[in-house]
Copies of this chain bind each other. A is one copy, B any other.
Amino acid sequence: MKIQITETDLIQMEQRKRAHLINSVGGFKSICLIGTVDLKGQTNLAIFSSIVHIGSNPPLISFIMRPDSVERHTLANILEIGRYTINHLNESIYKQAHQTSARYPKETSEFDATGLSTEYKFNCKAPFVKQSNIQLEMEFKQRIDLTINSTIMIIGEIKNIYFPKDCLQEDGFLDIEKAGTVTCSGLDSYHLSTSLERLPYAKV
């Protein structure tokens, strides 16, 4: 037997409770750290759970940010520098990653505040998270303002991918479970995964 929560229930629900519920109902989410830097070299690290695949050719990934939150440092830096990094979480760093969501002032780097380490690769100005097993270098492509609720969608193109060498399978599938990537649900719940199986391409 199922419980029903209606639109009216949602409207009348206390704000924080509704946020927990609505953030839970969409299913498990990709959770990553986005690393940026401003023109003065001040680094920033922020956690996002709205990363979504847009396309493979060109390789595009998007994420959603609120305009009125700590994440504006991320937005300002991306627009200034044009590059950013996406870094997977694992069991060793999810607590520090979560802590980056605290409202640190701009002059405090979340790297310093949480003890995560910056890592710089080749010509990428934006910092990677050294403790992350799967890291992406991204180039900013497009900002889309979602007028429906004033959130902002950022689309970026993947420029470089870094991952542990035993995780790539013959057909291109990257075994992120083997790399220890965690997933999240709601606003604050972290989970490991256990593979059921890979299924073949579906045919009629």
Contacts and interface: CB of A to CB of B under 8 A. Distances in A.
Contacts of A21: 56, 161, 168, 172-174
A1 interface: yes
B171 A20 contact: yes
A160 B3 contact: no
A144 B89 CA distance: 30
Interface residues of A, number: 107
Interface string A18-33: 1111111111111110
Contacts of A159: 6-7
Contacts of A109: none
B59 A10 contact: yes
Contacts of A82: none
B50 A52 contact: yes
A79 interface: no
Interface string A156-178: 00111111110011011111110
